[in-house]
Amino acid sequence: NNSEFVTNIINTLNDKYGNVGYENGNFFYIDAAGKHEIAIEDLNTTNQTFALVNDELVVTDSDGNAVKVAVAEIANNETFVTNLADNSTFVTKLGDNNEFISKVTNNSEFVTNIINTLNDKYGNVGYENGNFFYIDATGKHEIAIEDLNTTNQTFALVNDELVVTDSDGNAVKVAVAEIANNETFVTNLA
């Protein structure tokens, strides 16, 4: 029972129905004829597509309404970047994708975030000719991404957070409240 989430939905439904309220797990509106329950299934918001469009991840519903998140916003999330850098399955699968490699290796902020993450494990880390390396007293050593050994194991709702956990027990999370409080998400939900 998240009152902020309910309030956001009420505010969105007000645009369509007018005087909207929430009681006993149901939304309703009041007009001159009285109180009327709003049947959620009548809002017809079945997700139809999930796609990458112009550098945004976009979910579009059956009415053509869309919610979006910029790929740049995801790529700049420290937790996401840390777990991505540690995910050898992801890196290995994309290793043969030349377009992806070109985009990643030409994104200095992304490369810098990975270097900063690898510094915790390897020390003096750099990037050159498409490869990460570290330097120690014995010289320069390439970092084999496949040696990082992490594979996504679970994707679940845990204590009001969406959580992806890898084989090493590392997790990335997003609070469902954060999703629920996103104005675009709430607007398109109704």
Which of these ranges, 5-9, 74-78, 122-126, 178-182, has the smallest mean pLDDT?
178-182
Rounded Cα distance between 72 and 94, Å, is 18
Q: Is the pLDDT of residue 75 over 80?
A: no
Q: Is the pLDDT of residue 150 over 60?
A: no
SS3 of 140, please?
A: strand
Tens digits of per-residue pLDDT, 82-130? Answer: 776 676 666 665 555 566 556 655 667 777 877 887 888 888 988 888 7
Check: CB of residue 62 under 8 Å from CB of residue 41.
no
Q: Is the pLDDT of residue 41 over 70?
A: no
Phi/psi of residue 153, nearest 5 degrees:
-110, -40
